[in-house]
């Protein structure tokens, strides 16, 4: 089968498509024929030097796992003997490392679910990473009914998900993005929008219960002016723990405004909950561009511009 590989860290050009052995499902696994996957910020960060701290887990000098990709959508090709939830021919989507490939094996207990009726493979592939990341971050922040939330980086994969899911939870959402994406985030339900190219959200004279940095592009020290007393800043940037030690110390000492690193956890139950929202039309996948798998280098080049809105999808074979 064909898969996207990289044997060293670096720019998009380190990616290559090669033939590798097709996996076979173990007793508790599902073999999925992948029709659509994504080129995500997570993929790009792990491929490049950006997520350097992650190399403790992914390999210090070279990647331990060299097949790229996290999200998949496709059809079940075969199942292991112990699998009861899925059958051959089922349309499924979810999260599995190494998903930029024609086939991927996923544990039945893993982050995999049936596609909602009417959802294309491309749309389904653009759901899991952003939505489940947003769920984790909103849970960390304790966002609920009446929360005044500001989402910085609201037009990205996590940001577009966070806006929609926070509205579902009953929050009042202010979305910060650039000029071309203002109407997009409004259409997703944002109550207020801020164009960061024209206005500094910290100087508007408004304060929030939570500032969620969905892009890892701002800091607590900058954002605290926009936080209410007792407010919380949550970031997706692991570098936060390294270059902003003052914040960590202040949080431990009981500062009036606090900061947390949002640890993303992909959970099957959360994917099922998002699936229910998709079925009800209460969640919309956002796709910026679609590329065939053969153009994965171009897809990563675009992701590296940090200008994508929502998700970049890669198609493999038949879609629908």
- Is 201 a residue whose pLDDT tops 70? yes
Indicate the average pLDDT of the chain. Answer: 90
Residues with Cβ within 8 Å of 288's Cβ and at least 6 positions away in sequence, in order, are 308, 309, 310, 311, 312
State the DSSP H helix or E strand holding residue 5, giving kind and residue range, or none if neither. Answer: strand 2-5
User: Which pLDDT score, from 0 to 100, does residue 247 have?
Assistant: 57
Give SS3 for 124. Answer: helix
pLDDT category, 219, cuts 50, 70, 90?
A: confident
pLDDT score of 239? 57
240 has a pLDDT exceeding 60:
no
- pLDDT score, position 57: 47
Say if residue 202's pLDDT is above 90: yes
Read off the pLDDT of residues 244-301 as tens digits, 9 standing for 90 and up.
555 555 555 455 778 777 788 999 999 999 999 999 999 999 999 999 999 999 999 9
Domains in the chain, CATH or no CATH each:
2-127+285-315 (3.90.180.10), 130-261 (3.40.50.720)
**pLDDT at position 190:** 98
Average confidence (pLDDT) over 45-63: 59
Q: Taking residues 169-180, what's their average pLDDT?
A: 98
Question: What confidence tier does 220 reach under pLDDT thresholds 50, 70, 90?
Answer: confident
Q: Which residues contact 312 (CB under 8 A, 6 or more apart)?
A: 38, 39, 40, 287, 288, 289, 290, 291, 299, 302, 303
Residue (of 199, 164, 160, 157) closest to 178 by Cα position: 199
What pLDDT does residue 260 have?
Answer: 79
- Whether residue 25 is predicted with pLDDT greater than 90 in this model: the reply is yes
Q: Is pLDDT of 91 > 60?
A: yes
Q: What angle do CA 33, 38, 44 make, to 5 degrees?
A: 130
| CA end-to-end span of the chain | 21
Q: In Å, how far from its chain's centre is CA 227? A: 25
Least confident of 90-94, 193-197, 213-217: 213-217
Rounded alpha-carbon distances, angstroms, from residue 266 to 14, 73, 136, 169, 288: 27, 16, 8, 19, 23
Confidence of residue 319 (pLDDT cuts 50, 70, 90): very low
């Amino acid at each position: 089968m064909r898969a996207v590989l990289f044997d060293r860290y670096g720019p998009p050009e380190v990616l290559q498509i090669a033939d590798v052995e097709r996996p076979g499902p173990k007793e508790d696994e599902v073999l999925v024929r992948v029709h659509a996957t994504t080129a995500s910020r997570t993929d790009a960060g792990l491929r490049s030097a950006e997520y350097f701290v992650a190399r403790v887990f992914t390999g210090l000098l070279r990647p331990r796992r060299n097949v790229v990709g996290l999200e998949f959508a496709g059809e079940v090709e075969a199942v292991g003997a112990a699998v009861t939830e899925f059958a051959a021919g089922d349309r499924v989507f979810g999260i599995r490392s190494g998903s930029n490939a024609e086939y991927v094996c996923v544990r039945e207990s893993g982050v995999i679910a049936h596609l909602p009726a009417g959802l294309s493979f491309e749309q389904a592939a653009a759901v899991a990473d952003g939505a489940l990341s947003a769920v984790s971050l909103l849970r960390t922040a304790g966002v609920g009914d009446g929360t005044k939330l500001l989402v910085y980086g609201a037009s990205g994969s996590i940001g577009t998900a966070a806006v929609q899911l926070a509205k579902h939870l009953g929050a009042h959402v202010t979305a910060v993005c650039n000029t071309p994406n203002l109407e997009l985030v409004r259409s997703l339900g944002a109550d207020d929008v801020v164009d960061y190219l024209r206005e500094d959200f910290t100087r508007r004279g408004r304060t929030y219960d939570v500032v969620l940095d969905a892009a890892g592009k701002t800091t607590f020290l900058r954002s605290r002016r926009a936080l209410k007393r007792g407010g919380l800043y949550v970031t997706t940037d692991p570098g936060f723990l390294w270059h902003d030690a003052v914040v960590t110390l202040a949080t431990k000492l009981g500062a009036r405004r606090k900061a947390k690193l949002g640890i993303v956890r992909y959970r099957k139950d959360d994917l099922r909950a998002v699936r229910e929202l998709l079925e009800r039309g209460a969640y919309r996948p956002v796709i910026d561009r679609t590329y065939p798998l053969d153009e994965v280098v171009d897809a990563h080049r675009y992701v590296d511009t940090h200008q994508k809105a929502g998700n970049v999808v890669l198609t493999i074979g038949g879609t629908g």
